[in-house]
Amino acid sequence: MESMKLAGVARLWSLALALSALLAAAGQRWPAPLPLQPALVWLLVLLPPLALGLWLLTHWSLPDPDRGESKD
């Protein structure tokens, strides 16, 4: 079971590393720098954390207070 988890993590890490290498190579060959668009930058910076927070709020719940530990 542990080796399956390790293999999955290694596979995902390898995929991320390959994607990063492809993006770096594409950046080296790009003919001109992209124009800076502040609205797009803020969207790309804020959207992933907000989406993750929304997902957490909709899918996670607090434990039932009646089934918790005793307070004795």
The CA distance from 53 to 62, in Å, is 15
Per residue in 31-44, pLDDT tens?
888 899 999 999 99
In terms of residues, how long is the chain?
72
pLDDT at 27: 86
Instruction: Parse the chain into domains and list their residue ranges.
Output: 2-60
The CA distance from 22 to 14, in Å, is 12
Assessment of whether the complete model's pTM goes beyond 0.85: no
pLDDT exceeds 80 at position 10: yes
Dihedral sign (CA 38, 41, 43, 46)? negative
pLDDT exceeds 80 at position 71: no
pLDDT exceeds 80 at position 70: no
For 20, the token pair is 């990063």
pLDDT at 45: 94
